[in-house]
Amino acid sequence: MERAEQGGDLGVRAPFPDYNRGEAPANTQIFLVAGGAEDASFLQEVVVLRDYWLKNGYQPEEVACYYVKPEKADYEADRQRFDSMATRVDSFYLAAPHVLFRHLKTVAAAGPSAVHVYVNGQGKRPLGATSEERALAGAYPDFGGCHRIVLRGGPSGHMNERMRLEALRDGIDAHYLVFNAEFLAEALNEFPPSCEKFVVLNADYSGGFLTTTSGDNGLLRGLSNIAVLTSSSQDRMNLSQGGEMSQFGGIYLTALSSGSGPVVGRSWNKLANEVMVGVDRGEGNSGVRTRMRSRPMFFSNLPRESGPLVELASELAVPDTGGDEVRETLEMERAEKVLPVSGLPKP
- Taking residues 187-193, report their average pLDDT: 96
Domain ranges, ordered by start, for the chain: 2-241
Amino acid at 17: P
pLDDT surpassing 70 at residue 345: no
pLDDT above 70 covers what percent of the chain? 72
> Average of pLDDT values for 14-21?
88
DSSP string, 263-331: GGGS-HHHHHHHHHHHHHHHHHHTT--GGGS---EEEE--TT--SGGGGHHHHHTSPP-TTHHHHHHHH
Rounded Cα distance between 47 and 256, Å, is 15
Confidence of residue 287 (pLDDT cuts 50, 70, 90): confident
More confident residue, 121 or 338: 121
Does residue 295 carry a pLDDT above 50? yes
Res 1 pLDDT > 90: no
Per-residue pLDDT band for 202 (boundaries 50, 70, 90) equals: very high
Distance CA 9, CA 29 (A): 26
327 or 112, greater pLDDT: 112
Q: Give the residue ranges of DSSP H helices in the chain.
A: 2-6, 41-55, 72-77, 79-85, 97-108, 131-139, 141-144, 161-169, 181-188, 208-211, 247-256, 268-285, 312-316, 324-334
Q: What is the pLDDT of residue 141?
A: 65
* Alpha carbon distances (Å) from 179 to 48, 117, 122, 156, 183: 23, 13, 11, 10, 7
Half-sphere exposure of 137 (CA within 13 A, CB side): 16
Three-state DSSP state, 147: coil
Residue 34 has pLDDT above 70, yes or no: yes
* pTM score: 0.83
Three-state secondary structure call for residue 107: helix
Average pLDDT of 256-260?
87
Kindly report which listed range (137-141, 177-181, 209-213, 320-324) carries the lowest average pLDDT score. Answer: 320-324
pLDDT at residue 193, as a whole number: 94
**Cα–Cα distance for residue pair 167/4, rounded to 1 Å:** 10
Q: What is the pLDDT of residue 2?
A: 38
Question: Using the 8-state DSSP alphabet, how is residue 344 labeled?
Answer: P
> Distances in Å between the alpha carbon of 242 and those of 41, 96, 291?
9, 25, 20
**What confidence tier does 226 reach under pLDDT thresholds 50, 70, 90?**
very high
Q: Could you count the other beta carbons within 10 Å of the beta carbon of residue 340?
A: 11
Residue 328: is its pLDDT beyond 90? no
